[in-house]
Amino acid sequence: MNTPTVSIAEHVLVVGGSSGMGLALTTQLLSEGAEVTIAGRSRAKLDEAKSSLGNPPALRTAVADIAREDEVSRLFAHTGRLDHIVSTAADIGASYRLLPELDIAEARKVVDSKFFGPLLLAKHGVPMLSKKGSITFTSGINAYRPAARGSVTAAMNGALASLVRALAVELGPIRVNAVSPGWVDTPIWLHVAGDAKAATLDAMAARLPVGRIGRPEDIADAIRFLMRNGFVTGTVLHAEGGHRLI
């Protein structure tokens, strides 16, 4: 997507920015001159991500579990002023199970990371946001093309679509949107498919109209569009290679 560059004054919080789509977004934002704070639960992963990017002075890190309200509150005390908040975080744990095998404790991890986490980010982050700022969450294709074993994530991704509409009305002029990725080659597939990851992704690539699986950079581009277009709010942007059509 054709998106403008930004000034050094722009400050973006990327929750989940230490890997996958969040790391791809962080890389792009830094290249444009933005200041970025990446947040996640693992100090080791945050440090590894910062090192992989060359320890740029415009990149800060913060340890926080967005399922815990006290940690979310401390996170925003650490970040200070922000122009945009993005969350790509998802803790699917062992939730990809057929219903008879589903562990409710694992299911609650998905609810915490995909619903209550975003809700808490909005609650505590809005006072730090520019009035021209935005909040962008990440849902997913299984809300629209559900499959066996994915009932919990499908439900939470669907809930995010309703959440962004409600928050867009309540928080305007701050804009609230979500990106709904299709199948993207990220580390999360090791949890979903294990050793069958490559074969599973290749099979889907053959079915998609675009002829390939998504890349983290594809989703980062979509998020940047939602961040920068001041006339888009309460919207789910689908970046899924035509998956809803098959």
Least confident of 73-77, 109-113, 186-190: 186-190
Q: How far apart are CA 129 and CA 138, in angstroms?
A: 19
Mean pLDDT of 113-117: 95
Average pLDDT, the chain: 93
Q: Classify each residue of 93-122 as buried b or exposed e, where b means 16 or more C-beta atoms within 10 Å of its C-beta.
A: bebbbeeeebeeebbbbbbbbbbbbbbbbb
pTM for the complete prediction?
0.92
Question: How is the chain split into domains, by residue range?
Answer: 11-188+216-238
Name the strand (E) or helix (H) holding 180.
Answer: strand 175-181
Topology of 11-188+216-238 in CATH?
A: Rossmann fold (3.40.50)
* Beta carbons of 37 and 27 less than 8 angstroms apart: no
Q: Which of the pair, 126 or 3, is modelled with greater confidence?
A: 126
pLDDT-derived band at 66, boundaries 50, 70, 90: very high
Q: What is the structure's pLDDT at 6?
A: 45
Residues 218 and 185 sit within 8 Å (Cβ to Cβ): no
Structure tokens at 32: 């444009």
